[in-house]
Amino acid sequence: MAAPVLGLVGCAAGGVELLLLKLIEPMQELGWQVAVTLTPTAATWLDATGDIEKIEQVTGYPVRSKPRLPGEDSPHPAVDCYAVVPATSNTVGKLALGLADNQALTQVCEAIGLGSVPVVVFPRINAAHARQPSWDSHIAALEKAGVHLVMWPLHEPRSAPGRELPWASIMDTIVSAAQRT
């Protein structure tokens, strides 16, 4: 039996710089293949640090941030579960509304719309974003669509920068969601 494939989508939020160490390599140790797609800003961040090249070496797949041309084959294998980690408030809002204006969002919006594979989302936001009037409706829309959310206690802007993200909980949710399909 082939190893399951995690379609990991990273956004430009705190924690994206830790994906290789805290999520990709641990998921590989659990027997998963990991194919990474980044939002355009996250790709800019990780390209500047050299992390894209490291991720490609470890996963064996190119990191995607741009759409492929018509007629081109996907450089990633079929996905068994998507995980959006970390997800900015912008990405959560767009996923809830079905807005797919970049490659990362296109993949996940299609998965949500088809209900073909589970989707796990870890919103990495601060209290100011959560107080926006539409935030609760975005979360409710994703829950209604069957998205598995890993919620985390919010903090005030610019506070607790070194606080450890819930990596084990994120991985447990991915594995559990994938087993339910």
All structural domains of the chain, each given as residue ranges with its CATH number in brackets, are: 11-30+78-156 (3.40.50.1950)
Over residues 72-122, the pLDDT tens digits come to: 999 999 999 999 999 999 999 999 999 999 999 999 999 999 999 999 999
Tell me: pLDDT of 55 over 60: yes
Stronger pLDDT, 49 or 163, i.e. the higher one:
49
Helices (H), the chain: 19, 25-29, 40-49, 51-59, 89-97, 103-114, 127-130, 135-144, 167-179
How far apart CA 11 and CA 38 sit, in angstroms, is 6
Instruction: At 157, list the tokens.
Output: 């802007």
pLDDT category at 17 given cuts 50, 70, 90 is very high
Tell me the one-letter amino acid at 68.
R
Dihedral sign of CA atoms 20, 35, 41, 94 in order: negative
- Closest by CA position to 63, among listed 20, 124, 101, 117: 20
Dihedral of CA atoms 160, 166, 167, 173 in degrees, nearest 10, equals -150
pLDDT category at 163 given cuts 50, 70, 90 is low
State the pTM of this model: 0.94
